[in-house]
Amino acid sequence: MCSFVPLHLLQALSESPSIPLVDRHGAQNTLSHDVRLANSIQSQPTANVLTGAPLTQQELKTEFVTSLNVNEQADFKVVNGDASHPMLALSALTVNDVSESKLGHLWREIYDANHVDSPDLLPGILLRAEGEPSSAQPKSAVLNAAYDNFEKTFTFFHKVFGRNSLNDRGMPLVANIHYSTNYANAFWLPSQRQMIFGDGGAILTNLTSLDVIAHELVHGLTQFTACLEYQGQSGALNEHISDAFASMVKQWDRGQQSADADWMIGDSCLCPGVEGLALRSLKFPGTAYDKLAVSRDPQPGSMAAYVDTSSDFGGVHINSGVPNRAFYLVCLRLGGCSWERAGRIWYDTLLSPDIKPNCTFIQFADLTCQSAGKLFGPEVQGIVKGAWMEVGVYPTLAFASHFDGIVASLGYGAESTSAQVFAFDGTSSGRLDHVMILHSGQAFAVATARLASDSLSAVSAQLLLGAEDMSSNAAWRGFAFDYKQNKTCDHIFLFAPGLGMVCILAPEAPGAGDGSGWRAVYSSKKGIGEHDFFSTEDRVLAFDLQHTGRLDHLVVYRPGSGLLSVLRNDNGVFASVFRTRTGLPGFDLSSVSDRLVAFDYEHIGRVDHILAYRPGSGLVTIFQNQDGVWKPVFRSIQLGTPGPAGDGIGGYPLSQRGDRILAFDLKGNGRKEYLAVYRPGAGIFWVIEGKGGRFTKVFGEGNPGQGKGAGVGGFDLSQMTDWMVAYNHPQRGLPDSLVCYRPADGRFVAVKPTWKVM
């Protein structure tokens, strides 16, 4: 059962000495009944509800015949062979009649439960069926309110969403009023697909008001769509969806816009004299009845106050405050009427085939963001995501340093503007869990280090001579490479652009790259493969060409010339498997500013896509390679502008030539699926997330179009030569650190992402 009045409030009312004895007994009776009934009901609806498949005309007719049989077997029989009874009349319809009958229109039935205390005895005595006049009998206000509010709710869903009743197939709306004695609740009974209303008492009353009716009917809608389990977060979402749509129905009936509504649920259910505004507030969860003497509203407005409890089916009526607040924020920021955009997003989410019965808050948030982007574009999607972030379902991302020092202390010598830092697999474990500091110039040295939680420990420092002319005055560059094709980037690829020199270093022993020294397994003064490395613009990166999870191919390119080669390693012999002098399709590599980054575009743990970007122009193109063919899967291009130009990515314009992009693992799942975009010299740093070809900012320090930022994690990024690389934490399951390095003074800062719940 899905009840309206929360169990914790009934518990408080039943125990309060300030409440009249008769009302305490009523609250206790209601509480005992609801707990007993809930425990007896199976958690899952019937199979045909779970499938969600459209029913045939014959199945529609069978549903009504089944309902008729329940009527005839009930203790309070009203049919008795009377052909005028609507259920009996429906049972006589032919299959063709069913599709054109009342099934396609509103059909209401209000029954008198006559104070029976068990749903097994329902429905009771039929008081009013569709089309019958309102009753003028004494105490008929509840009857007429239920009848009228059924119509308002039905009409809202029909006009706004085109829905034909709860199951979208014309299902009758059935209510039983005057249930039990002194019963202060209303509930939707999934097994019988009908609503049940008590009469309330001196504390709670008016249980057939519009928002109560709409709230409970939407439980039926959820049963026929998302079928959310009534437990824990999925149960809280079940309650939230009913609150959200009930608010929309009430606002639609009143002609209110989001900014003008009170966002209260059950505001007419508290009797005069009771200190409280309503049973729930979507605008400010936790304030609806916080002045009530017997209890305080326990609803949280953010995940920071989430209530972990076993009562109330895991706090379904309590923790619904979190998504309630998020929905309110979305409606307020979108403006206008709540049902126009926010309502359509939530309704589309309910219909999503991806929503699961045990859906969590964050899964539901993801689906609403997807629906928002699909229906209204990235701006609205950003508003929806921002609301979920504000309530802590998407924790707020921050960065904090866990090491800040000078790398000269590692013992390899003085600082140098040509020094470079990169990560490598120092233990042959499959993780880039060590850093290498590359010092070139009059002497060439490498220092390796391992980051602990708050310290940087040196594990080796080695002067390299002999493999090549490593002591020449050259600006060497390097990166980690899977030379042995075993998913371990424990070899170092070194190259001196402009001089043709290439060297590949291996650890003296497997897994010993953290201290036992290095040896050359490949060296050349004429480049590698068919690429000569005689241009100072030459660049290289490791790439997973064959989608195996191995960074065992080399992408060698020369910005400004269009030259690009992909090299395969065959036992130390490198040969081109792809070569072009015109760049990639739609990205010609004609600018010396062009850069390539390998990253995990599909979020599957394979760095098998290339992001090509041109800082200063905003051009971005993402490529996948299938069977040797490069295909763009994302483009950011401005049409109608002089010369090639783009919009950047995720809102970051890439409008300065100094802008840089790197891919990293933000969540500790082993996938380099997030992009860090930064501007050395200006202190600007953003993190961008991609989903389904759409990119959005999830963290931003500084506005790339206006002035400067403060950097990241205490590293101000104020120098043009500042550099940043991703580093795997030695412990699996933890996100990458970002290593920030300043060659001019040897400053080395490691920052890690942290998540703050609002």
Could you report how far apart the first and last alpha carbons of the chain are, in Å?
32
Peptide bond into 743 cis (omega under 30): no
Q: Which long-range contacts (CB under 8 A, 24 or more apart) does 189-194 make?
A: 189/1, 189/41, 189/119, 190/1, 190/2, 190/41, 190/45, 190/49, 190/219, 190/220, 190/223, 191/41, 191/42, 191/45, 191/46, 192/70, 192/119, 192/122, 193/166, 193/220, 193/223, 194/122, 194/123
- Residue 216 is among the residues annotated as catalytic for this protein: yes
**Which DSSP string corresponds to 335-395?**
-S-TTTTHHHHHHHHHT-TT--TT--HHHHHHHHHHHHHHHH-HHHHHHHHHHHHHTTSSP
Annotated active-site residue in 33, 109, 215, 216:
216
CA max distance for the chain: 106
Residues 189 and 196: beta-carbon distance below 8 Å: yes
Nearest C-alpha neighbor of 583 from the set 564, 603, 608, 611: 564
CA atoms of 725 and 548, how far apart (whole Å): 23
Q: Buried b vs exposed e over 591-620: b needs ≥16 C-beta within 10 Å?
A: bebbbbbbbbbeeeebbbbbbbbbbbbbbb
Residues 365 and 393: beta-carbon distance below 8 Å: yes
CA atoms of 444 and 50, how far apart (whole Å): 68
Query: In sequence order, which residues have a C-beta less than 8 Å from that of residue 477 and are 6 or more positions away?
Result: 420, 438, 494, 495, 496, 497, 540
Q: Which residue has the tokens 């040896």?
A: 519
CA dihedral 198, 203, 205, 211 (to 10 degrees): -110
Annotated active-site residue in 33, 85, 178, 317:
317
Residues 751 and 742: beta-carbon distance below 8 Å: no
**Which DSSP string corresponds to 88-110?**
HHHHT--HHHHHTSGGGS--EEE
Q: Count CB-CB contacts under 10 A for residue 110.
A: 28
Residues 532 and 526: beta-carbon distance below 8 Å: yes
Residues 543 and 598: beta-carbon distance below 8 Å: yes
Q: What are phi and psi of 710, to 5 degrees?
A: -105, 10
**Which DSSP string corresponds to 543-577?**
E-TTSSS---EEEEEETTTTEEEEEEEETTEEEEE
Q: Count CB-CB contacts under 10 A for residue 17.
A: 7
Residues 30 and 184: beta-carbon distance below 8 Å: yes
Query: In sequence order, which residues have a C-beta less than 8 Å from that of residue 642 and are 6 or more positions away?
Result: none
Residues 460 and 447: beta-carbon distance below 8 Å: yes
Q: Strands 518-524 and 539-543: what pairing?
A: unpaired
CA dihedral 256, 260, 263, 266 (to 10 degrees): -60
Strand boundaries in 659-757, DSSP class E = 660-664, 674-679, 684-691, 694-701, 723-727, 737-742, 747-756
Write out the H or E segment, with its range, that includes residue 322. Answer: helix 321-334
Residues 169 and 55: beta-carbon distance below 8 Å: yes
- Residue 151 is among the residues annotated as catalytic for this protein: no
Residues 282 and 265: beta-carbon distance below 8 Å: yes
Q: Which active-site residues does the annotation give?
A: 216, 317
